[in-house]
Amino acid sequence: MLLYQTVLFDLDGTLIESAPGIFACARAVMQEMGLPSMTDEQLRPMVGPPLAVCFSDVIGVPAERVPEAVARYHRLAKTVGLDAIHPYPGIPDLLKRLKEAGARVCVVTSKVTPTAQAHLVRYGLAPFIDHLWGGIPGGSAEKTFLLQTAVDALATEKANLVMVGDRHYDLTAAHTVGIPSIGVLYGYGSKEEIMGCAPTYTVASVASLSALLLGSSSVPCEQ
């Protein structure tokens, strides 16, 4: 029995392990712009926020050059780092089983919509996704705005919806919008970050997420 009829997934760090690709593309941008290189650990906070925030707050690009950095990233991301990205093991099967059980499966991501759609197609997840809400090129990529847009469009009882994500952006947005949330610990957010958001459920693995969503687990939280 499904725990929720509609499941809204974050993309990076929840459905796909994208950090290696993101880091490769970011480094290519930094090289083009003459910026000093950074380690994976320094770049790790890039996974989750909108790109403008990443370049400003994580990499330290001057405000007047942030639009240039974002534009370069979008251009390079079409070819750079794609082979380093893949779905987390078990995710394709989870999405398939959710669809077979009658769930509505959606993606809400700060990644701009064309890139997010291309990733879903490239990594074999598109057939399982009913709706995608991504960042708007030239517009907002803020997670609460995107999630509220999704919830309004779905027009169903909020108790039947759940947001699944690995960063505080996802869980805070769910709280603000007023829907349940599931924090996943296998992504890019720390345990402290996830638990600090007090999600409805917390899971440590894709297997546990599957058991929870498909109704074969009643465990509310994994430590």
Burial (CB count <10 Å: 0-12, 13-18, 19+), residue 55: buried
**111, 57: one domain:** no
Q: Are residues 13 and 50 in the same domain?
A: no
- What confidence score (pLDDT) does residue 48 get? 78
- Cα–Cα distance, 195 to 199 (Å, whole number): 7
Same domain, 60 and 152: no
Extract the tokens encoding 87.
């779905």
Same domain, 53 and 132: no
CATH number, position 38 = 1.10.150.240
Whether 65 is covered by a domain: the verdict is: yes
CA dist 4 and 104 (Å) reads 9
Tell me: do 72 and 93 sit in the same domain.
Answer: no
Q: Give the structural domain span for 147.
A: 6-17+86-213
Task: Name the domain boundary from 48, 83, 118.
Answer: 83
The pLDDT value recorded for residue 220 is 46
Instruction: Domain count for the chain, please give it.
Output: 2
Quick one: 71 and 123 in the same domain? no
Same domain (yes/no): 122, 166:
yes
Q: Is there a domain that residue 220 lies in?
A: no
Q: Note down pLDDT in tens along the chain; length 223 residues.
A: 899 999 999 999 999 999 999 999 999 999 999 999 899 999 988 887 888 999 999 999 999 999 999 999 989 988 998 899 999 999 999 999 999 999 999 999 998 899 899 999 999 999 999 999 998 866 666 899 999 999 999 999 999 999 999 999 999 999 999 999 999 999 999 999 999 999 999 999 999 999 999 987 544 444 4
Residue 125 shares a structural domain with residue 92: yes
Verify that 187 and 93 share a domain, yes or no.
yes
Neighbours of 215 (CB within 10 A): 12
Of 32, 62, 83, the last residue of a domain is: 83
Q: Which two tokens stand for residue 86?
A: 């893949």
Indicate the residue type of 168: H
| Residue 221, domain member (yes or no) | no
**Do 97 and 155 belong together in one domain?**
yes
Task: Report the CATH number that the domain containing residue 120 is assigned in CATH.
Answer: 3.40.50.1000
Q: Which residues participate in catalysis according to the annotation?
A: 10
Residue 219 lies in a domain: no
